[in-house]
Structure 1
């Protein structure tokens, strides 16, 4: 009986060891994808950097570029400078106790800001806009091209610093006019290109504006280029540079992604642009192939370290879902979209909506994408008074 008890104890001990070994194996198995798993979290510091109680208090459009022209994650330091540009910006004063606007407020169609550093800091960003003789705010960029209609204005698209053209910063600008009625009381009618010479600073007295052929309508719907720029150049820090700048557009009701490219040395020579038709690059912009669909009117395509790309966008422009999609090359093919975030701000008020997600690679950390999305309200005139802090970008970080 004594030996029988001893054997029983040994069997129990071995069984316990086996269970622990099995549990450890299960734990290891569950953690198999820990290094490759996609994770997303809110990054409130960047949104708080854009939260102000006086002066510039918000905007619903945002793009940026590194002033050294390097557009890759992890390239910034405490001395690095980034230029932001915003659309539909609000100037006013907020009653911080009641959290409402006090007195009158004014809106301008676009503004810029300069930020120094690699981490968000409200003390290191400074905003700029023009003013009239009475001190009223004016948009930083206003249409001055030959065919710009009276009372039209600019909503700003993407841009970049072009090392091959003496570090000129190019920004695409959508020509907009207001129209009565409709849930969105405006329409885009063209695309211009703004060129800011090297070392330009507000109010950009040396800026040049140029009309482009990058806006057209055909049987496939309306096509608008300039929603995203991807410089595949040595100066931009691309992993496998080919000297081309890839410019993306959105087409039709299905929000199809299309792409063109041009050598960086010939960026503003539209006769040198070529358009991807699914098999080759050619001169016919109407033959563009759809790389994917259900994108947003503003989005991004960013290089990964291995030379592949990752697109970031809001599904169908104004949606609660932020998505990403990996691509083998800048012209695809792209994988199906992966949903990585549901925007909680859309549920803060019945009239709130979120839209136009995009990544900011120069502000991102290695292996991650810092992505912004806009917040606005269908009852804008009422909610800008009641909820003045809602109208500013929010940020998330996607680790992939």
Structure 2
């Protein structure tokens, strides 16, 4: 495939406006990060989120400091209407996967299994290590399986976690396999890893791990494929090859969204092209975890989302519009 491309991006693509308008009502989800999407039966799309604010929203666009905050949620879109799905009750909402006694679960990539009956979400377990704001660490990977109609949690099963890789970056179905893209997060450096399993059930068969030259049953033999990826990124089929979309993590709090190209789902991913620079980045405001939504593509137009947040939590209460995903359409053209 060609690996020389140019990119043009247009911000504020659908469904950004739909989510913003829903957030402004304060009647459910009012902002979150992660922003994976999964097509479901009946023309539905499940948007899969991690840390989530719920309503209400004040008339001036601020949040009450008492607003509920949970670590994972869904927003279901059908026919242009949105519905928030959480655990707990309407008066006492909780995360869809209840937090363990000393931590929480953040959601990663998701897909359906069992002919669409299951909505499977990779859940990362984090544990607190002390009283401070940053005293926590990743502990292990799980698969949270939901009924794709009722969104009730069916099971929470452990996934491979022996190689210091968060196997939650992306899931790609290709030629009878599900490829699982993980990130070895060393703080200042982040490395992509690749595993695969036959079929679409991540818990039914043994995983294999890409060693750089072949596949191994040993998770600790997993090789570093690419440095500079974000914890959440995407690898999708593009033309007769593959496109990786990620925030650039080779620089701190980067505004750069990059696309890499490969002839194989295991890389090497080469010839990065800048897809976009996020205008929100600066001061307290950070952007992160950009990835594609291949099921919401229109022809050759990619739909890419990224998350926006503030390093000062008070900002998120003062202005509801900060902590909401942004969406772009990106048009790639072969370089002449």
Q: The TM-score by the shorter chain falls in which range? A: 0.7 to 0.9
Q: 1:81 to 1:371 in 2, by over 3 A?
A: same
Partner of 1:281: 215
How big is the shift at 1:345? 1.2
Partner of 2:19: 50
Whether the 8 Å contact between 1:112 and 1:127 is mirrored in structure 2 is yes
Partner of 2:78: 116
1:200-349 map, 5 Å: 200-202=149-151, 204=152, 207-213=154-160, 215-217=161-163, 222-232=164-174, 242-253=175-186, 254-264=189-199, 267-269=202-204, 272-306=206-240, 308-316=241-249, 318-347=253-282
Deviates more, 1:280-289 or 1:173-182: 173-182
Partner of 2:311: 378
Q: 1:95 aligns with which of 58, 69, 72?
A: 58
Name the CA distance, whole Å, in 1 between partners of 2:242 and 2:131. 40
Whether the 8 Å contact between 2:178 and 2:200 is mirrored in structure 1 is no
Q: 1:37 to 1:323 in 2, by over 3 A?
A: closer
Asked if 1:40 is matched to 2:9, the reply is yes
Whether the 8 Å contact between 1:216 and 1:224 is mirrored in structure 2 is no
How big is the shift at 1:101? 2.3
Per-residue Cα deviation, 1:305-345 (whole angstroms, up to 9, x for no partner): 32x11011111184211111011111112113222111111
How big is the shift at 1:397? 1.4
How big is the shift at 1:296? 0.2
Name the CA distance, whole Å, in 2 between partners of 1:266 and 1:100. 42
Name the CA distance, whole Å, in 2 between partners of 1:155 and 1:266. 20
Q: 1:158 aligns with which of 105, 109, 120?
A: 109
Task: Compute the RMSD of aligned alpha carbons.
Answer: 2.2
Name the CA distance, whole Å, in 2 between partners of 1:283 and 1:323. 31
Aligned residues: 320
Q: 1:142 aligns with which of 85, 89, 98?
A: 98
SS of equivalent residue, structure 2 residue 150: coil
How big is the shift at 1:398? 1.3
Per-residue Cα deviation, 1:217-274 (whole angstroms, up to 9, x for no partner): 5xxxx32112110011xxxxxxxxx20110011114321111011111663135x211
Asked if 1:80 is matched to 2:43, the reply is yes
1:346-361 map, 5 Å: 346-347=281-282, 350-361=283-294
How big is the shift at 1:116? 2.0
Partner of 1:129: 86
Whether the 8 Å contact between 1:93 and 1:103 is mirrored in structure 2 is no
Bigger proportion of residues as helix: 1
Q: 1:183 to 1:273 in 2, by over 3 A?
A: same
Bigger proportion of residues as strand: 2
How big is the shift at 1:131? 2.9
Name the CA distance, whole Å, in 1 between partners of 2:155 and 2:103. 17
Name the CA distance, whole Å, in 2 between partners of 1:260 and 1:186. 26
Partner of 1:33: none
SS of equivalent residue, structure 2 residue 57: strand
TM-score, reference length from structure 1: 0.74
Partner of 1:64: 37
Where does structure 1 lack aligned partners over 5 or more consecutive residues?
1-35, 69-78, 144-148, 233-241
Q: 1:355 to 1:288 in 2, by over 3 A?
A: same
Q: 2:143 aligns with which of 188, 193, 198?
A: 193
How big is the shift at 1:135? 1.5
